[in-house]
Amino acid sequence: MTDRHLIVLNVNGSEHEALVEPRRTLLDVLRHDLGLTGTHTGCEHGVCGACTVLVDGEPVRACLMFAVQAEAAEIRTVESLGRDGELSDLQQAFSDHHGLQCGFCTPGFLMLAEGFLAQRPDAGREEIREAISANLCRCTGYQTIVDAVSATAASRCRAREAGTCPVPEKEATP
Amino acid sequence: MTPRFDGRKGRWVGASVPRREDPRLLRGRGRFVDDIQLPGMLHAAFVRSTVAHGAITGIDLTATLAVDGVVAAYTAADLELGDIVALLDRPLEEFVPTAMPILAKEKVRFAGEPVALVVARDPYSAEDGVEAAVVSCEPLGAIVSEETAFAHGAPLVHEEAPGNVLVDVSMFDTSGVDAAFEAARAGGGCVVEVVTRSGRQNALPLETRGVVASWDDHDDQLLVRMCTQVPHQVRTAMARSLRVPERTVRVTVPDMGGGFGQKCVVGREEIAVAAVARLLHRPVKWIEDRREALTAGFLAREQRYRTRAAFDSGGRITALEADVVCDMGAYSCYPFTAGIEPLMASAEMPSVYQVPEYRVRGRAITTNKAPTAPYRGVSRPQYVLAIERVMERAARELGLDPVEIRRRNVITRFPYTGVNAITYDPGTYRESLDLAEATLRDEGWYEIRDGAAARGRHIGIGYCCFSERTGYGSGAFAQRKMTVVPGFDISEIRMDTTGSVVVTSGTMNHGQSHETTLAQIVADRLGLHLDQVKLRQGDTERIAYGWGTFASRSVTIGGSAVSRAADRLGEQLCAIAAHLLGTGQDNVRLDGDGGVVQVDDPARRASFEEIADVAYLRSHLLPKGVEPALSATASFDVPGDGTFSNATHAVVVEADPGTGQIRILRYACVEDCGVVIHPQVVDGQCRGGIAQGIAGALFEEITYAGNGDPSAASFIDYLVPTATEIPDITVAHLETPCAFTENGAKGAGEGGTIGAPAAVLNAINDALRHTGVELDTTPVHPQTVLTALDAASVPRREEASTPS
């Protein structure tokens, strides 16, 4: 149990060192070792999605990954969204559409949607509904989350056509 | 600054302004209990019983203490804490008081009950320590149902409660009940009897319970940061259990990831953790894990109703009789007691209908299951299910349309005092029903339904009408004979030298947007910009007492207290302004734009900044007898029986006879919560509530094996609906302003959960109307449908069907 590993994690573009037991989850390291508490603990068995982060661009349950497994990867958490104190377009859409109430599941939904839209920028409403069914929300009834993600997809599409998209177009699928 | 939204005539109230809560929550900068890290903090985990009912014969923590990282471990005997005892002022025949120890003592009463507490340097080691503990128990035979609880010679969950009954109250028995039944039988009417049941559910806030407790030498105080809807109640109960003066406990609540009622009672784990922090003089954290939340958190909803009703030949209800049994699990919750569910059901079961004769018996039984707490709606989803099924059954018997029979029975003249001695304030019972029906008719759903039936497909339409008492004042709770009587709330409002205000409220936000809606109310009252109003709550040191947030009371009661405090501050501002302007107090008024204006000469005006500057920094300029500082405190309690929001839910479903699956094709809600403070927020409350109601109607259930093992310990077994199961929901608003609240609002938090189960079940039965199947139990799992169809000898079809 006392066997510990010194690891280096690349989170939101910065490198962080952590000394961890092999059983320590990526979620706990992000939250409690690195102080990135935006990512939330909801079930610790990979169902609720409150801990969703992007690992090499893919939405991943941080509770199902050991921190030692994440060493060579690029990790993005909710703290990476938005710039200069401004909300990102996706965050703003959640606010505009009342896509959050208590806000506990919200970082997980934001990262899920961010990862999904990067892969499926033209996704329609039903496809978005299907995708976000990966995460649980207990407050909203989901409709306004679908609204927020759909609105973001639509506005990014328009912006892409106009050449002003706030999010760089990603490589389609890895 | 946020641009000014012209909600209604330039007011903040009525406008969907951007939520003040959003920016921090969206950035991941909210602060929830588990986000708090303190130097030297230890972590707690609980050793829990694996046996549902057993006598404890030994607790061996030797191996636990040997685990690397474990600092200490405690049993009940080590901590010597006072039990939690929730009381009603009722005689023993009606209510049996029982105690909930902080850690189990002589025996365990449900699988998951905390038996010992382990403290370690990190949560992983604490769990290792739990793993190493050995608890020996002699099984006593588990009580898992009404049948086993009432069985002759059944083991007793609490020795002091014979027959495993905690509450047995016959609240109403009017003189004409029997005659009405006889007349219905004789006179061409009908008598229907329906047995409805609803499954045991978990309110399931996504953030589990949690606490960080530390001793603060500076304030000689235990600082308890925790996830609760009712910080003051926790402080009171905790101080009593720890046997310390109440001033030595301070409870603060950071952001909360939902509550839905589950966090409006006092939990034992938080008290144990606080006691240990005090003992060790070190911060201790406990975060409930999901398995604990599902098996040992407070549950809800498991109720059985045997309801009989008499109708005359015109389809009017003439008598209602009900026998209600609520399975409260192993313990009575504090402060509401096991009476909360059966008393609520007994008092309010006539619902929105004009019921002339009424007899009811409500019982709470105790079983070896995780205890229950109020959950969004509290019994109302269940009694509404019962009476709405009664309406449907009677409609069938009398050959009436289900909407028509409701129309003939709903209360239409207000104020209406019911057979239950409750006076209902004006609402839109009939209007909401008419609008809901018109919505589905105009959209062609009746043609779709009938056309589908012709093609052998099972599409059905269901309705549910209900009212929900909100803004329960202390009068309503006193009628229940609670010894701890919630009801009022207090608010304090303080202006600083810049003319901005801080409002402190005794309510507790856990997703309902209080920071925005209560600020809207204050901004309008004082004529301030929304950005100049900051709401604070969730700190027992900031306000003398508060009842927190439950029973849709925050805007009705909390919001009214806030309004009154704002008015008092307004009077102070006017008094000083009149002096500064050299005129009389009756010659000034708030100008709605951050200042006070002279009525007879509007060119003369004092801004709030100018007045505040005098009040604090140049107090020698104050009028005689006026104290420096601008602050006001006010309380509010709803007079009378409270206020009644109402709604009609209309649902279209398709039942797939091949798979048993139920799919919701259309969901329309027409609701009336009085004055709508923030439309987007009210819609959100409705939709979120409906999603939880659909969850209860179709998915979520915790059952127990004969030995008391719970069926659901993870999200693999407990099916929470996702975005693909919850449909888009339209919400239409009717507005009947409430005369009893300062702002005209009625509660809006619970309605969705109340209406959905009955509406969905009625729609399912309508879809299956050609098969002879009639279901009266929720949740309706696919297997329920298949079993019922098999029993009715209806052939299954091979393929799933899709709607036209």
Side chain identity, residue B205: P
Residue B600's H or E segment, with its range, is: none
Strand partners, B95: B167
Q: How far is B216 from chain A (nearest CA, A)?
A: 23
Rounded Cα distance, A154 and A165, in Å: 11
Residue B359's H or E segment, with its range, is: strand B358-365
Nearest by CB: B28 against A78, A105, A138? A78
* A5-80: CATH, from 3.10.20.30, 1.10.260.40, 3.30.70.141, 2.160.10.10: 3.10.20.30
Nearest by CB: A101 against B34, B684, B726? B684
pLDDT of B106 strictly over 90: yes
CB B256 within 8 A of CB B227: yes
A143 part of contact set with chain B, CB < 8 Å = yes
Residue B594 tokens read as 């951050």
pLDDT of amino acid B633: 97
| Domain edges within chain A | 5-80, 89-160
Rounded Cα distance, B673 and B469, in Å: 11
CB B537 within 8 A of CB B507: yes
B258 part of contact set with chain A, CB < 8 Å = yes
* A38 contacts on B by Cβ (under 8 Å): 27-30
Nearest by CB: B35 against A2, A37, A50? A37
* B683 contacts on A by Cβ (under 8 Å): 98
Spatial CA neighbour of B251 closest among B294, B222, B216? B222
Chain B residue nearest residue A104, CA to CA? B257
Spatial CA neighbour of B371 closest among B111, B14, B665? B111
Lowest model confidence (mean pLDDT) among B385-389, B722-726, B786-790: B786-790
B687 part of contact set with chain A, CB < 8 Å = yes
Match 């005090």 to its residue by tokens. Answer: B278
Residue B221 sits at φ, ψ, to 5 deg, of -150, 145
Q: Considering only residues 93 to 112 of chain A, which have any Cβ-Cβ distance to chain B shorter than 8 Å?
A: 94-96, 98, 100-107, 110
B206 part of contact set with chain A, CB < 8 Å = yes
pLDDT band at B800; cut points 50, 70, 90: very low
Spatial CA neighbour of B690 closest among B743, B757, B626, B627? B757
Percent of chain B with pLDDT strictly greater than 70: 98
pLDDT of A65 strictly over 90: yes
What are the distances in angstroms from CA B114 to CA B48, B142, B711, B725, B734?
Answer: 4, 17, 19, 35, 47
Chain B residue nearest residue A101, CA to CA? B511
pLDDT per residue as tens digits for the range B727-767: 999 999 999 999 999 999 999 999 999 999 999 999 999 99
Nearest by CB: A138 against B128, B258, B513? B258
pLDDT per residue as tens digits for the range B108-130: 999 999 999 999 999 999 999 99
Q: CB atoms < 10 A from the CB of A19, how many?
A: 11
Q: Looking at beta carbons, which pairs linking B515-518 to residues 24 or more positions away fall under 8 Å?
A: B515/B19, B515/B20, B515/B21, B516/B17, B516/B18, B516/B19, B516/B20, B516/B21, B516/B678, B516/B681, B517/B555, B517/B559, B517/B677, B517/B678, B517/B681, B518/B554, B518/B555, B518/B558, B518/B559, B518/B562
What value does the mean pLDDT of chain A take? 93
- Residue B28 to residue A139, Cβ atoms within 8 A: no
Spatial CA neighbour of B259 closest among B8, B621, B445, B512? B512
A150 part of contact set with chain B, CB < 8 Å = no
pLDDT band at A172; cut points 50, 70, 90: very low
Spatial CA neighbour of A136 closest among A43, A31, A65? A43
pLDDT of amino acid B615: 96
What value does the mean pLDDT of chain B take? 95
pLDDT of B803 strictly over 80: no
CB B200 within 8 A of CB B327: yes
pLDDT per residue as tens digits for the range B282-311: 999 999 999 999 999 999 999 999 999 999
* A23 contacts on B by Cβ (under 8 Å): 124
A87 part of contact set with chain B, CB < 8 Å = yes
Q: How far is A141 from chain B (nearest CA, A)?
A: 4
Report the C-alpha dihedral over residues B339, B342, B346, B348, rounded to 10 degrees: 90
A2 part of contact set with chain B, CB < 8 Å = yes
- Residue B206 to residue A81, Cβ atoms within 8 A: no
- Residue B26 to residue A45, Cβ atoms within 8 A: no
Average pLDDT over residues B657-675: 97
pTM of the model: 0.96
CB B128 within 8 A of CB B62: no
Q: How far is A39 from chain B (nearest CA, A)?
A: 7
- Residue B256 to residue A35, Cβ atoms within 8 A: no
- Residue A142 to residue B723, Cβ atoms within 8 A: yes
Which ipTM did the prediction report? Answer: 0.95
Positive or negative: CA dihedral B70, B76, B77, B81: positive
- Residue A38 to residue B28, Cβ atoms within 8 A: yes
- Residue A106 to residue B29, Cβ atoms within 8 A: no
pLDDT of A85 strictly over 90: no
* Mutation target among A4, A25, A28, A98 for the B interface, most CBs of B within 10 A: A98
* Mutation target among B17, B27, B509 for the A interface, most CBs of A within 10 A: B27
DSSP symbol at B35 = G
What are the distances in angstroms from CA B740 to CA A102, B154, B637, B744?
Answer: 28, 48, 10, 7
pLDDT band at B801; cut points 50, 70, 90: very low
Nearest by CB: A141 against B18, B680, B726? B726
pLDDT of amino acid B465: 98
Same fold, A5-80 and A89-160: no
- Residue A142 to residue B18, Cβ atoms within 8 A: no
- Residue A138 to residue B260, Cβ atoms within 8 A: yes
pLDDT per residue as tens digits for the range B460-489: 999 999 999 998 889 888 888 999 999 999
* A89-160: CATH, from 3.40.50.970, 3.40.50.10300, 3.40.50.1980, 1.10.150.120: 1.10.150.120
B751 part of contact set with chain A, CB < 8 Å = no
Residue A161 tokens read as 């056509």
* B726 contacts on A by Cβ (under 8 Å): 141-143
Side chain identity, residue B713: A
B726 part of contact set with chain A, CB < 8 Å = yes
Q: Which residues contact B353 (CB under 8 A, 6 or more apart)?
A: B317, B387, B391, B406, B409, B410, B411
DSSP track, B371-382 = -B---TTTTHHH
* Mutation target among B24, B25, B295, B731 for the A interface, most CBs of A within 10 A: B25
